[in-house]
C-alpha cells in the first residue's frame, strides 16, 4: 500500500469516528485549507516565476484559466 492511500484512509476513518463519537477530527478543516493554500502557492509560483503572497487571492480572469496547473 502506498503512503498516500494509507494516510487518506486513516483520515477518512478518523473523520467518520469523530462524527460518531462527537469529537473533533485529528485534521481540522482549517489545517486542510492551509495545506491546500500552501501547495496552490507553490504551483502558482512555479507557473508564474515569482513569489506568491499570502493569503492567496482568487483567480478569476480568463488568463488565469489557460490550461496551466492552478
User: Is residue 10 within 8 Å of 26, Cβ to Cβ?
Assistant: no
Cα–Cα distance between 56 and 58 in angstroms, integer?
7
Q: Using DSSP, how many helices (H) and how many strands (E) does the chain show?
A: 2, 0
Number of domain units in the chain: 1
Is residue 11, in this structure, part of any structural domain at all?
A: yes
Model confidence at 68: pLDDT above 60: no
Q: Is the pTM of this model over 0.75?
A: no
User: For the segment 26-37, what is each residue's pLDDT rounded down to a tens digit?
Assistant: 989 899 899 989
**61 located within any domain:** yes
User: What nine digits make up the cell of 28?
Assistant: 481540522
> Which domain does 25 fall in, by range?
3-65
Q: Which residues contact 14 (CB under 8 A, 6 or more apart)?
A: 25, 26, 27
Amino acid at each position: 500500500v502506498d503512503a498516500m492511500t494509507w494516510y487518506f484512509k486513516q483520515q477518512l476513518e478518523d473523520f467518520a469516528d469523530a462524527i460518531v463519537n462527537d469529537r473533533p477530527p485529528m485534521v481540522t478543516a482549517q489545517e486542510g485549507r492551509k495545506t491546500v493554500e500552501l501547495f496552490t502557492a507553490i504551483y502558482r509560483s512555479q507557473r508564474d516565476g515569482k513569489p506568491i503572497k499570502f493569503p492567496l487571492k482568487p483567480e478569476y480572469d480568463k488568463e488565469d484559466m489557460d490550461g496551466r496547473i492552478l
